[in-house]
Each structure stands twice: as C-alpha cells, then as structure tokens.
C-alpha cells in the first residue's frame, strides 16, 4: 500500500513470516490437523518413524507384537499391499494386539496410530498397562468400518520401567485393525524448544523497514522507534464483584489485563435468586467498569447443565415450567448484553451433566444455541467444559466426545451459520501436567477449524504450582488454534484461593511472578533501531498494534503512524512520504 504524506523521504516496510527456529531433535508436533478429521482408505505413515515402537507399520508381519488377554491376532493385507494387524476373537474390552515398551520418568510421550474396525462405528482407546497393573489411557478415536481413523494422544511418564501398549473397545464383537503406531519420547527441554519455535512462528512476524529519501537514496542512521500499544493475543483473568469495592484490586487488574470473565455474576443463580425477581445490578456495574477500562468480557454463562448449580427455585420445576423459565432467562440475559461481549458460554459442562436434556429433551442445548444466535448473532457461542485437555482419565469430556457433541449441536436445524467456538476450562491438579495429552487434545479440537479458548485456567495448590502454571500457559500460547486464554486466578482479597496471584497486600505470589513474567515476555518491548548503510532494519514483533516513529538523522524531522500487525497479513510494501 502507499500513503502519501509529502515528498522528502520514504519508508518501506515489508512483512515476512518468521523462519522456524531449529529444534532439538525431532519436532514435538507438526500441528497437522487433517489426519484427525479424515477417514482414509489407506493409513498414513507412522509419525516419527514409529518412535520407540518396534515394527510400527507391520513391515515384518507380526514381529514385536503379541496378544494381550484372551483374543487372537493375525496379519491383514489391503488391496494395495499395505500390512496391518487385526485383533479378533475378543472376549474382554482390553483383548488386543500389544507391545511392551520402556518408559523413562520425566519424559513426555507423543502417541498416534491408525485404527479401523470391521463393522459399524465404535470408540477405540489406546491404553498403557504398567508393571503395577495401572491402566493409563493415552488417546481415543471413533473408529469405523471401511476406512482408517487417526488416534492421537500422549502421556507424561511419572515412572521408569516397562509398560504394555494395547487397544481397548468395549464392544468385543468388533475386530480392531491397527497400523502405523508411534510412541515418540521428548525431554522437557525438547518440548519447551518446540513451544518457543511455535510461538515465534504463530505469534510473531518479521518486519523489515527500508528507509529512503524521495530520490531513493538510503537514509543511513534513520532512527525507527517501535512501541507496542496493544497485543492481539487475548490473555486475561477472571473477575468478581470485589472489584467494585477495592481500588487496589481495580489498579491491580487494569494494570495487567484487557480480557475477563465474570466468575459468578452473570450466572442465573446470581441474577434471579427468586423467581421473577431479576437483579443485574452487580453484573451491570462490572460491565460498566470493564468498558471504562477497555476490558473485553466473555459472557459466562447462559445455562449450566449441572443440577447442583441451578437457582434453588429452578431445581424442582416441572418440564413445562422449566421450559418457560429458561426461555425468559436466555431472552433476558442475552438481550441485555447483546453486542457488548466477545463470547457467550451458552451451555456450561454439557458433557458431564444433562439437567436440561433430562427434563426438556436431547436437543435442549442445541435449541439454546439457536436462540442465543438469534438474539446476539455477532457474538461467538461456546460449549465450555472441564477435563477435555487436562485429565486423560475423564472419559466423558475427552476431546473426541467434545467434538461429537459440538457437531450434534451445530448440526441441529438452523444452527449451521452459528459463530461457534471451543471452550476448554483448564482446571489442572497439583501434579505434573500432562503436556503431551494437552497438546494432542488441542490438536483434535483444532481439527474442527473453530477457535479454541482456554477459559478458566488454574492449578491446584502444591509445591510446584507456579512452575506448572507456567508450563500450561506456555503450551496454550504456543498452540496455533488457541485464540485466547482466561485464567480463573486473582488476588487473595477477592477470594481466589486455588491459584492466588497476590497476597492481601497485593504482593506477588510465585504464581503471580509467573503471570507478570509472561505478560512482559509475550509483548514486544519498546525499541529504537538504527538503519544500516542501506537504510534497512529488520525486527521480529508480536502480533498487535504499534506506534512507529521515524526520525531523519540529518534534518531531525520525524513522523509517526500506527501499524497493526496480524497473523494473516500478507507480504507487501508501504511507502510513506514525509515533507522536509
């Protein structure tokens, strides 16, 4: 583009993608989501050459593989000559082909395989059985007959020693066909290196400035000052009503965050404690405060499917009365804040609970998505769920089930055009987070093509809380499908007692130090750069808004303008002419 300001000298700048940073060893993920969505006639090759799995593509028939349980295994051969293994004559869910693998404590393992069954459609899980008999689920897929489906997962090894890799389907009448199995180890250092590489590639761009006079001669020594005014990556924090009462809390929050979710104040049990007596006083005041301070709000939530968290008067309503009350609720809250929020959590925890479905029918959630879309069509609508990325043992909320449920909601008549998003809460325990499972889960969710938000991130109290919080936030920030992160953390004075960032005097806890460090790290620092003999400067900048000032070293004239740098900017030149 060209912007004419005068005819004295010219500034060219060119956007170019960052080249990849060299990793240590094999990459921890390619972020190729196509394999998670397609059901292929022939499986793809094993990732990482199979990693530590012997004979991963069954090139050598069944060598290295054995039967687990009471079933049998045999070699399969496709029309194209591809070899695979078939687990058949199964009587127990864990009867399958298996292989013993060796684990090293403190190592992350990325898992993948291609799975098919001989009839219908069934869930198939990859499972590790440790020497002590513990079963560790590492991934799950909906397998079908007639094509191969990609299973992806991971595990953090908190033990050293052997384990048996096997495959599980509760339907023992189906054969499990397996091919291209991979289990690739990564050290924590390798994993961190890949996170950094991905952040450089996905969150930053190189900008090349070229400064010339109008006669095209280079302006050696031109001073280009670069100041970021806003980051384009939403990194925010939960907020509660205490912010209306404490100036210190207000100052603490506004000095750090431009994105928030109200932890309770928009929920139905807060706005209508008694039937017919709505009170939005606190929520309205918090919305005003956020607007006054340039803070964007995620609406949380329209409904919560957990029976425990309904307003007391709602819990025992008849189906007809509930339908009427819920219709008033969604019309009231969505109409009140329509156009003022960046998101709505339409149905909270819909995979774990089914209060509305049990009383109003299986399409209840889909109908509420439809109504929210009618009332506020420009705001992104989310399912919001826990344990989808943080806990591999929770079968209800795994990413495969999340995808299936969201597809059902969006496939409901009239919902095709909904602006939808994926909300993964991210409530982690006090143990080492399983970053390999987290990344695989995000990859599976990303295969929908929808933006992902980590909506309620916190970490239970423990000696390594701050370290684990940093690992989780870095993993989320490094994943290209994650569009934003909201933490459910805050200062002690506001009652944040799971992950507390500041004590009663607003002094940072170790977790608070981590958050402040990342806020600084994920933005470009103000810089003054000097053009070389060719009038050129090259710098890597985080996506966001910038104020750029260029000063002529001879005439001391200067000009300033604003630059927005985004992920999808194409290469191009900008010419700016400045009067003498």
Token pair of 399, please? 């990413």
Catalytic residue among 197, 349, 385, 475: 349
Cβ neighbours of residue 449 under 8 Å, at least 6 residues apart?
none
Catalytic residue among 456, 470, 475, 483: 456
Concatenating the DSSP letter of every residue in 168-196 gives E-S-TTS-EEEEEEEEEEE-HHHHHHHHH
Burial category of 77 from C-beta neighbours within 10 Å (exposed 0-12, middle 13-18, buried 19 and up): exposed
**With b meaning 16 or more CB within 10 Å and e meaning fewer, what string describes 289-327?**
bbeeeebbbbbbbbbbbeeebbbeebeebeeeebbebbe
72 in catalytic set = no
C-alpha closest to that of 73 among 178, 151, 182, 150? 178
395 in catalytic set = no
CB atoms within 10 A of CB 229: 12
Do residues 58 and 73 touch, judged by C-beta distance below 8 A? no
Q: Fill in the DSSP letter of residue 138.
A: E
Cβ neighbours of residue 241 under 8 Å, at least 6 residues apart?
264, 265, 282, 286
Cβ neighbours of residue 163 under 8 Å, at least 6 residues apart?
100, 101, 102, 103, 128, 129, 130, 131, 136
Burial category of 2 from C-beta neighbours within 10 Å (exposed 0-12, middle 13-18, buried 19 and up): exposed
C-alpha torsion angle, residues 334, 338, 343, 345 (rounded to 10): 0
542-to-16, 268, 427, 521, 550 alpha-carbon distances in Å = 13, 39, 28, 10, 20
Considering all CA atoms of the chain, what is the largest pairwise distance in Å, rounded to the nearest integer? Answer: 87
The residues carrying an active-site annotation are 349, 456
């Amino acid at each position: 583009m060209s912007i004419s300001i005068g005819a004295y000298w010219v500034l060219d700048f060119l956007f170019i993608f960052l080249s990849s940073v060299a990793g240590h060893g094999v990459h921890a993920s390619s972020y190729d989501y196509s394999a998670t969505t397609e059901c292929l006639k022939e499986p793809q090759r094993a990732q990482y050459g199979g990693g530590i799995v012997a004979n991963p593509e069954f090139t050598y028939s069944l060598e290295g593989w054995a039967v687990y349980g009471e079933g049998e295994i045999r070699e399969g051969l496709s029309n194209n000559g591809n070899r695979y293994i078939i687990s058949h004559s199964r009587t127990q869910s864990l009867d399958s082909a298996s292989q013993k693998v060796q684990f090293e404590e403190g190592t992350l393992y990325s898992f993948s395989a291609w799975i098919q069954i001989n009839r219908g459609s069934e869930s198939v899980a990859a499972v590790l059985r440790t020497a002590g008999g513990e079963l560790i689920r590492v991934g799950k897929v909906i397998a079908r007959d007639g094509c191969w489906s990609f299973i992806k997962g991971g595990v953090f090894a908190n033990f050293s020693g052997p384990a048996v890799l096997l495959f599980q389907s509760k339907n023992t009448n189906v054969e499990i066909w397996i091919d291209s199995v991979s289990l690739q180890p990564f050290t924590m250092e390798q994993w961190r290196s890949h996170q950094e590489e991905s952040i450089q590639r996905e969150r930053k761009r190189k900008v090349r400035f070229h400064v010339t006079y109008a006669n095209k001669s280079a302006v050696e020594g031109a001073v280009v000052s670069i100041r970021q005014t806003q980051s384009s990556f939403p990194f925010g924090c939960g907020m509660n009503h205490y912010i209306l009462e404490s100036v210190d809390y207000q100052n603490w929050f506004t000095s750090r965050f431009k994105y928030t979710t109200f932890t309770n104040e928009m929920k139905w049990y807060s706005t209508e404690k008694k039937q017919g007596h709505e009170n939005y006083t606190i929520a309205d005041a918090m919305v005003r405060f956020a607007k006054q301070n340039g803070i964007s709000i995620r609406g949380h939530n329209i409904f919560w499917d957990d029976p425990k968290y309904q307003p007391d008067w709602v819990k025992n309503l008849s189906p007809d009365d509930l339908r009427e009350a819920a219709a008033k609720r969604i019309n009231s809250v969505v109409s009140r804040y329509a156009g003022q929020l960046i998101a709505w959590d339409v149905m909270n925890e819909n995979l774990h609970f089914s209060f509305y479905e049990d009383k109003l029918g299986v399409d209840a959630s889909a109908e509420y998505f439809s109504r929210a879309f009618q009332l506020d069509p420009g705001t992104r609508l989310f399912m919001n769920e826990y344990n989808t990325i943080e806990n591999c043992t929770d079968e209800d909320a795994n990413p495969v089930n999340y995808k299936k449920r969201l597809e059902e909601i969006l496939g409901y008549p009239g919902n095709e055009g909904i602006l939808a998003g994926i909300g993964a809460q991210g409530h982690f325990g006090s143990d080492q987070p399983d970053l390999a499972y987290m990344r695989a889960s995000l990859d599976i969710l990303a295969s929908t093509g929808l933006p992902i938000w980590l909506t309620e991130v916190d970490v239970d109290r423990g000696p390594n809380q701050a370290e684990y919080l940093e690992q989780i936030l870095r993993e989320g920030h490094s994943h290209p499908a994650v569009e934003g992160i909201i933490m459910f953390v805050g200062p002690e004075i506001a009652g944040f007692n799971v992950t507390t960032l500041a004590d009663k005097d607003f002094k940072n806890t170790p977790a608070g130090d981590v958050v402040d460090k990342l806020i600084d790290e994920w933005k470009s620092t103000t810089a003054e750069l000097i053009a070389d003999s060719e009038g050129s400067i090259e710098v890597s900048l985080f996506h966001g808004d910038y104020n750029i000032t260029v000063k002529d070293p001879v005439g001391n004239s200067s000009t300033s303008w604003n630059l927005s740098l985004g992920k999808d900017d194409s290469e191009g030149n900008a010419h700016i002419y400045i009067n003498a």
